[in-house]
Structure 1
Amino acid sequence: MLTWFAEANPIIQATLAGVFTWGCTAVGSAIVFLFNDVNRKLLDIMNGFAAGIMIAASFWSLLAPSIDYAQSGGYGKWAFVPAVVGFLVGGIFLRIIDLVVPNMDFASKEGVEGPKTSLSPTTLLFLAITIHNFPEGLSVGVAFGAGGMGLSSATLQSALILALGIGIQNLPEGSALSMPIRSGGSSKGHAFNLGQASALVEIVGATLGAWLVTQVTIILPYALSFAAGAMIFVCVEELIPESQNNGNNDVATLALLAGFALMMALDVALG
């Protein structure tokens, strides 16, 4: 089975990885069937840990391969250009989406970003998480696509580690969506369905990302850094505020450091 996966087309690998990250969200959302409430401190630790993983992954799994590909592609001393441009565009792109599409403000959990709307807080929360899930899927797809091109810093192992890190991040994210929906009066089944559905875009993003970079290789360094910028935006906009706004600052920060260190160790050792 593992041999078949290693030899599969990068698009298939990315799609299956997207299914895995969606499955992690579904598992997190399913907590609504077992508990009426989730320990806030545990969620903050998991969010901090996930942020550390994603920040590390943004460099070792996305930015470093972007620079590596640009250097081997004849950019010379300008090899940093695709990384810088893609990184900034990735973050700005998500910011524009936040301004255009009504969604929950993660920094305060009280305000609404985007145009005025009469949508319910549940719908706004669902939209916010769905919007931020797409670039996570895209980053997985781009990583698997890059891994299929033989770059020294972009390997199948690093793509798998990235998918694992995003999967870990999706566990608390699923419960962070399903539990408030349940608390708002919805049935457990409805809360679960909305929670898992928010990550379906990750499968689409993963497939699309792998297809794009394998079909139009010239965009690879930009796509890698775009995904990195989008992931950093998600960390700063969503995960870190979520972990820091509930009185568990110190333990959440330590968890972030632990997540970063673990991702760094795994990527360097196995990548």
Structure 2
Amino acid sequence: MNNGQFGAALLLTLFAGLATGAGSLIALLSKKTTPRFLSVSLGFSAGVMIFVSLVELFNDARAELSALWGDRMGYLAATGGFFAGMGLIALIDHFVPTEINPHEARSEEAAAYEATGALACAVPSREERCGDGACDVAGDGIGRGRHGASGRGRHRGRRGRPQTSSSALLRTGVLTAIVIALHNFPEGIATFFASMKDLSLGGTIAFAIAIHNIPEGISVSVPVYYATGSRKKAFWLSFASGLSEPVGALLGFLVLQPFLGGPAFGFILAAVAGIMIYISLDELLPSAREFGESHLAMAGLAGGIAVMALSLAFGA
């Protein structure tokens, strides 16, 4: 094993995981986020991951296994590995309650609230003062979302979105962090083993997963901030949920290292392809459509595929 490549693969996995912290900072510090940009970015990420999975990873897995068992058995083994990867992450989704799963479909309004951090008038913060049904939020960053830079909006109270207690919000944020940590385990394994095969390929996957992790960081930090009033707590919980990605990579390596000889590595590559296809179709594209218009998501998807196709054509 090349120690330099091992270290680089682990660093790429760490980079992808820490993007949840970047998402938290965007929500906590920025005055305005753009859901349309998120939509295009998530679509782009999906395009990159779909193309890489089907054109590179699956074909590499098939070639590895075919060299050992012949074309027919190699193809069947690679296909089995592909669906095993999809099954692994689907199993994780199955055991996560729908109401706390950040990857489940939400209403358009809820997606907009998450994307912009505009929770202030639905969930009053400690500095919020309401009078005659109007809310004045004395914060910045979060809370300025769709109500404008002043942070003013209408307190919808009984007739609109129901108010949520601080304890319920904190529970939502913590549970979301746990769910994201669980999802990050297979994502970490995918990034790490792709990087062990080819660092440039691993870098591409790490970049795509990092884009995917940014809105996940937002979904953790926003409810925690409004429950506690502490930006530090919101950031660190989001940051910690991303650390499960390199932890998953290390655990996956320790468990699978004895089996990396022979057909196992080809099977792992096929499973990684399956994991990434599932993430793209079940998480990235639905989220991209929620944050913007469907055409924006498709434009991002086409752009991601085109960039990867050109990079292969010109040997990048």
Q: TM-score scaled by structure 2?
A: 0.70
Given the superposition, is the C-alpha separation of residues 180 and 255 from structure 1 closer, same or farther in structure 2, using an over 3 Å criterion?
farther
Percent identity for Structure 1 against Structure 2: 29
CA RMSD of aligned residues (A): 2.8
* Alignment match, 1:205: 248
Task: Give the match's secondary structure for 1:109.
Answer: coil
Comparing both structures, which one devotes a greater share of its residues to helix?
A: 1
Task: Give the match's secondary structure for 1:85.
Answer: helix
Task: Give the match's secondary structure for 2:105.
Answer: coil
* Alignment match, 2:105: 108
Contact 1:135 1:231 in 2 (8 A): no
Report the Cα distance in structure 1 between the residues aligned to 2:3 and 2:74, rounded to whole angstroms: 30
Which runs of 5 or more residues in structure 1 are unaligned?
1-6, 111-117, 148-154
Matched, 1:157 2:200: yes
* Alignment match, 1:256: 301
Given the superposition, is the C-alpha separation of residues 138 and 268 from structure 1 closer, same or farther in structure 2, using an over 3 Å criterion?
farther
| Structure 1 segment 29-178 matched on structure 2, within 5 A | 29-35=24-30, 38-102=33-97, 103-104=100-101, 106-109=103-106, 120-145=171-196, 147=197, 155-178=198-221
Contact 1:11 1:210 in 2 (8 A): no
Given the superposition, is the C-alpha separation of residues 204 and 178 from structure 1 closer, same or farther in structure 2, using an over 3 Å criterion?
same
Q: TM-score scaled by structure 1?
A: 0.80
Report the Cα distance in structure 2 between the residues aligned to 1:22 and 1:237, rounded to whole angstroms: 19
Shift of 1:209: 4.1
| Structure 1 segment 226-245 matched on structure 2, within 5 A | 226-245=271-290
> Which piece of structure 1 moves more, 194-203 or 211-220?
211-220
Contact 1:213 1:223 in 2 (8 A): no
Task: Give the match's secondary structure for 2:69.
Answer: coil
Shift of 1:214: 4.9
> Which piece of structure 1 moves more, 228-237 or 35-44?
35-44
Task: Give the match's secondary structure for 1:175.
Answer: helix
* Alignment match, 2:162: none
Given the superposition, is the C-alpha separation of residues 162 and 180 from structure 1 closer, same or farther in structure 2, using an over 3 Å criterion?
same
Contact 2:19 2:242 in 1 (8 A): no
Given the superposition, is the C-alpha separation of residues 190 and 61 from structure 1 closer, same or farther in structure 2, using an over 3 Å criterion?
farther
Contact 1:84 1:225 in 2 (8 A): yes
Matched, 1:224 2:281: no
Report the Cα distance in structure 1 between the residues aligned to 2:199 and 2:17, rounded to whole angstroms: 19
Q: How many residues align?
A: 252
Report the Cα distance in structure 2 between the residues aligned to 1:178 and 1:89, rounded to whole angstroms: 32
Report the Cα distance in structure 2 between the residues aligned to 1:101 and 1:219, rounded to whole angstroms: 29
Matched, 1:265 2:262: no
Report the Cα distance in structure 2 between the residues aligned to 1:236 and 1:66, rounded to whole angstroms: 21
Contact 1:94 1:230 in 2 (8 A): yes
Report the Cα distance in structure 2 between the residues aligned to 1:39 and 1:233, rounded to whole angstroms: 26
* Alignment match, 1:113: none
Shift of 1:254: 0.5
Which runs of 5 or more residues in structure 2 are unaligned?
108-167
Q: Which amino acid aligns with 1:239?
A: L
Report the Cα distance in structure 2 between the residues aligned to 1:188 and 1:54, rounded to whole angstroms: 32
Report the Cα distance in structure 1 between the residues aligned to 2:311 and 2:180, rounded to whole angstroms: 27
Report the Cα distance in structure 2 between the residues aligned to 1:44 and 1:180, rounded to whole angstroms: 21
Shift of 1:11: 2.7
